Amino acid sequence: MTRKIPTHVDVAIVGSGPSGATYARVLTELRPDLELATFEVGPVVSDPPGSHVKNIVDADERSAAQHASEGPSAGDISDGRLRRPGTFLLPEGFQQDGEDGIPSAAMSSNVGGMAAHWTCACPRPGDSERIDFIDELDDLLTEAERLLCVSRHAFDGAPFADEVRRRLGGEFDPIRSPGREVQPMPLAVQVDGEGRVTWSGSDVVFGDETRANPRHQLVPEALVRRLIIEDGRATGIEVVDLTDRSVHVVTAGEVVVAADSLRTPQLLWASGVRPHALGRYLNDQPQVIHAVRLRDVADAAVADVDPRGRSVIVGQSGVSWVPFTDEEPFHGQVMQLDASPVPLAPGDVPQPGTIVGLGWFCAKDLQADDRVEFDDTATDGYGLPAMRLHYRLTDTDRASLAAARQAVQRAARALGEPLDPEPRTLPGGASLHYQGTVRMGAADDGTSVCDQYSRVWGVDGLRVAGNGVIPTSTACNPTLTSVALAVAGARHIAETVSTTAIQEALA
């Protein structure tokens, strides 16, 4: 039976990751009178739709959900580039001659987007990471923490976590201001009274409120291939129903494109919306990793196994945070593991939690020339304009990477004995935090694509969402910030849009 795709909505949302889900949830709460629909090119891979695949107990089911998220070329890419389960890599165009490129540029196509596969770290940006023209940023971040169910205390009881933070704090805290000391990583996760762990995905952002909203429809396997722009206004979208290849026009009062940092500018480009900054200032946080074995720790009791079998790892894990500061411009993420990531001597089985993985993210030296370009003739696996990345690390970036290597070695020495002699620099794209391509700005001066409410300059009724709107050079994980910026955009729609006004606009 052909499913029913709406012909008109008040707000059409493209993409069901946490940014798109934020618009659906906030509008559901503030404006239950509005007709809403979220269109997602990928399938439902988890229950509730958009939930984190780590919550799937059965390993085969989990792996099938990851595979189903890997887009039209799932499994095709075997050229040795680093790829995380649940994601697929840009098949070509990721590196131009003489440039660094972003070899591991990745995407996910599933209800929930990348947030069905993410690590759930939700730090607040600090110092120069913050967006100085948004006065209410802290209020927006607080709301984003509510929507993502962020907790600072989920794993307070993890073995050795206090000791890890004490040692890191001894090394890094002396020059830090209040609030930016070493601390537990805020995580989007809920732990119930019996210790069961549920990682947040878009399902948590949608929430029961959106699922119960009779005026919201989630439409999976629906490719939005074009925005309809008439007389400088977005009036709808053109959707391909991938279940039967039928094509539908959905008129809309407002359109929100939350289709990730590469595909949001792609859809604008495909629709003839091509502001100068579109696709530019592309940035990916260079990353250095290292691993150590904690020295001098007493044996700790092994935590109980989760009755549903899914928090065994977590019960042994602590995640600590060394926040970004202008003086030490790195974001440090320190994860205690239940097993060693590298082979140890035969018979050497480390106590869970005593092997610690360190990841230091750098802030990119932003350049307008770092960009995703789109082809007017060649297409990608979805039939949308093929992408070509131009990307270079500057001398400043190389100096920053060298300093990050030193910082991660300082952290490792404070904690214990490194497993490898040197830290490793990950390939470009490994951060999975791509930003800047539809960045917001305080003025329409050619260096930004949208305003602080995510309205695309010069096109009424069109907003963009996701990490691409973040204009600053951040080192911290971006999702909390992009959800906060989506909250601002959704609140603005709630305050400014009336269904009558929309109908008049369309008349």
Q: Which of 490, 496, 487, 493 is nearest to 136 (CA)?
A: 487
Residue 126 binds to ligand FAD (criterion: CB under 6 A): no
Residue 279 binds to ligand FAD (criterion: CB under 6 A): no
CA-CA distance, 232 to 503, in Å (whole number)? 17
Using CB under 6 A as the binding criterion, the count of chain residues that bind ligand FAD stands at: 39
**Buried/exposed 220-240: b ≥16 CB within 10 Å, e otherwise:** bbbbbbbbbbeeeebbbbbbb
* 349 phi and psi angles, rounded to 5 deg: -105, 110
How near is the Cβ of 38 to ligand FAD at its closest, in Å?
A: 9
How near is the Cβ of 469 to ligand FAD at its closest, in Å?
A: 9
Positions 4 through 23 that interact with ligand FAD (CB under 6 A): 14-20
Helix (H) or strand (E) holding 269: helix 263-270
The tokens for 193 are: 């009274």
Residue 203 binds to ligand FAD (criterion: CB under 6 A): no
Q: Where in the sequence numbering do the catalytic residues fall? A: 433
Residue 41 binds to ligand FAD (criterion: CB under 6 A): yes
Q: From the centroid of its chain, how far is CA 306?
A: 28
Nearer to ligand FAD, 42 or 352 (CB): 42
Give the x-and-dash track for 403-442 against ligand FAD (CB under 6 A): -----------------------------xx---------
Q: ω before 307 within 30° of 0 (cis)?
A: no
Residue 285 binds to ligand FAD (criterion: CB under 6 A): no
Query: Helix 137-148 and helix 18-30: axis angle, to 10°?
Result: 100
CA-CA distance, 268 to 289, in Å (whole number)? 35
Residue 108 binds to ligand FAD (criterion: CB under 6 A): yes
Give the x-and-dash track for 42-61 against ligand FAD (CB under 6 A): x-------------------
Q: Which of 188, 223, 121 is nearest to 433 (CA)?
A: 121
Q: How far apart are the first and last CA of the chain?
A: 32
How near is the Cβ of 218 to ligand FAD at its closest, in Å?
A: 11
Nearer to ligand FAD, 123 or 159 (CB): 123
Residue 405's CB is within 10 A of a number of other CB atoms, namely 17
Residue 40 binds to ligand FAD (criterion: CB under 6 A): yes
How near is the Cβ of 144 to ligand FAD at its closest, in Å?
A: 10
* Contact yes or no for 224/249 (Cβ under 8 A): no
Stretch that binds ligand FAD, among 57-65, 256-264, 447-455, 491-499 (CB under 6 A): 256-264
Residue 152: C-alpha distances to residues 126, 156, 157 (Å)? 17, 8, 12
Radius of gyration of the chain (CA): 22
Q: Which of 453, 444, 432 is nearest to 104 (CA)?
A: 432
Nearer to ligand FAD, 64 or 414 (CB): 64
Residue 387 binds to ligand FAD (criterion: CB under 6 A): no
Residue 142: partners with Cβ closer than 8 Å, 6 or more residues away: none
CA-CA distance, 130 to 491, in Å (whole number)? 20
Helix (H) or strand (E) holding 335: strand 330-337
Nearer to ligand FAD, 291 or 486 (CB): 486
Residue 482 binds to ligand FAD (criterion: CB under 6 A): yes
> Among 121, 273, 322, 404, which residue interacts with ligand FAD (rule: CB under 6 A)?
121
Residue 70 binds to ligand FAD (criterion: CB under 6 A): no
Q: DSSP 3-state assignment of 323?
A: coil
Nearer to ligand FAD, 169 or 381 (CB): 381
CA-CA distance, 39 to 31, in Å (whole number)? 19
Nearer to ligand FAD, 227 or 293 (CB): 227
Q: What length is written for the chain?
A: 507
Q: DSSP 3-state assignment of 200?
A: coil
Residue 113 binds to ligand FAD (criterion: CB under 6 A): yes
> Among 137, 161, 267, 450, which residue interacts with ligand FAD (rule: CB under 6 A)?
267
How near is the Cβ of 233 to ligand FAD at its closest, in Å?
A: 20
Nearer to ligand FAD, 428 or 466 (CB): 466
Continuous H helices in 307-460:
312-315, 395-415
> Among 83, 124, 165, 263, which residue interacts with ligand FAD (rule: CB under 6 A)?
263
Nearer to ligand FAD, 15 or 323 (CB): 15
How near is the Cβ of 21 to ligand FAD at its closest, in Å?
A: 7
Positions 305 through 334 that interact with ligand FAD (CB under 6 A): none
Nearer to ligand FAD, 400 or 454 (CB): 454
State the number of CA atoms in the 13 A half-sphere of 186 facing the CB: 22
Give the x-and-dash track for 447-466 against ligand FAD (CB under 6 A): -------------------x
**Interface positions with ligand FAD (CB under 6 A):** 14-20, 39-42, 84, 87, 108-110, 113-115, 117-121, 223-224, 258-260, 263, 267, 432-433, 466-467, 477-479, 482
